[in-house]
Amino acid sequence: MTAKWNIVLAAIAIPFFLFASLSCRKTESGKAGATAALIQAPDIAERLAKYAPTEIFVDPASLNAEDRRVVNKLIEAAQVLDEIYWKQTYPQGPALAARLRASADPADKPALDFFLLNFGPFDRSDENKPFLGIDKKPLGAGFYPLDLTKEEFEKYIAANPSERAALENEFRVIKRENGRLAAVPYSIEYKPELERMAVRLNEAAALTSNLSLHAYLSRRAADLLSNDYYESDCLWIDLKDNFPEIVIGPYEVYEDALLGLKASYESYVYINDFEGMKKLHAYLDHLDEMQRTLPVEQKYKDQSVKGLSSPLNVVNEVFTAGDARAGIMTSAFVLPNDERVREKKGSKKVFLKNMMEAKFSKSLVPIAARVMAPADAAQVTFDAYFVEVLLHEICHALGLNYVTLPDGTKTTVGKALRDLNTPIEEAKADVLGIQSVPLLVQRGVLAKERQDEIYASYLAGMFRVMRFGATEAHGLGVLLQFNFLREKGAFVFDAASGKFAVDRAKIEGSVRELAARFLILEGDGDYAKAQAFIARYGKMDAPTKAALDALKDIPVDIAPIFKTIY
Interacting residues with Zn ion (CB under 5 A): 426, 429
Q: How far, in Å, CA of 267 to CA of 558, rounded?
A: 18
Instruction: State in angstroms the smallest separation of the CB of 523 from Zn ion.
Output: 18
Dihedral (CA of 123, 126, 128, 134) sign: negative
Instruction: State in angstroms the smallest separation of the CB of 368 from Zn ion.
Output: 22
Q: CB–CB of 417/525 below 8 Å?
A: yes
Nearer to Zn ion, 208 or 291 (CB): 291
Nearer to Zn ion, 6 or 412 (CB): 412
Nearer to Zn ion, 87 or 464 (CB): 464
Closest CA to 360 of 557, 542, 78: 557
Q: How far, in Å, CA of 84 to CA of 74, rounded?
A: 16
Strand extents, DSSP E, 8-68 = 24-25, 36-40, 51-56
User: Bridge-partner residues for 557, per DSSP?
Assistant: 51
Instruction: State in angstroms the smallest separation of the CB of 426 from Zn ion.
Output: 5
Instruction: State in angstroms the smallest separation of the CB of 167 from Zn ion.
Output: 35
Instruction: State in angstroms the smallest separation of the CB of 2 from Zn ion.
Output: 43
Nearer to Zn ion, 139 or 473 (CB): 473
Helix (H) or strand (E) holding 150: helix 150-159
CA distances from 441 to 4, 434, 449, 450 (A): 59, 12, 9, 8
Instruction: State in angstroms the smallest separation of the CB of 511 from Zn ion.
Output: 17
Nearer to Zn ion, 239 or 350 (CB): 350
Closest CA to 111 of 93, 132, 128, 91: 132
Pairing of strands 180-185, 244-250: unpaired
Contacts for 441 with CB less than 8 Å, ≥ 6 apart: 447, 448, 450, 451
Q: CB–CB of 366/554 below 8 Å?
A: yes
Q: What phi and psi values does residue 215 have, to the nearest 5 degrees?
A: -65, -45
Residue nearest to Zn ion (CB): 429
Q: What phi and psi values does residue 404 have, to the nearest 5 degrees?
A: -110, 120
Nearer to Zn ion, 394 or 490 (CB): 394
Nearer to Zn ion, 393 or 452 (CB): 393
Q: CB–CB of 94/333 below 8 Å?
A: no
Instruction: State in angstroms the smallest separation of the CB of 56 from Zn ion.
Output: 24
Q: What phi and psi values does residue 107 have, to the nearest 5 degrees?
A: -65, -20
Nearer to Zn ion, 229 or 351 (CB): 351
Q: CB–CB of 396/424 below 8 Å?
A: no
Nearer to Zn ion, 292 or 396 (CB): 396
Nearer to Zn ion, 100 or 429 (CB): 429
Q: What phi and psi values does residue 325 have, to the nearest 5 degrees?
A: -115, 10
CB burial string 346-375: b at 16+ within 10 A, e below: ebbebbbbbbbbbbbebbbbbbbebbbbee
Instruction: State in angstroms the smallest separation of the CB of 363 from Zn ion.
Output: 19
Instruction: State in angstroms the smallest separation of the CB of 460 from Zn ion.
Output: 18
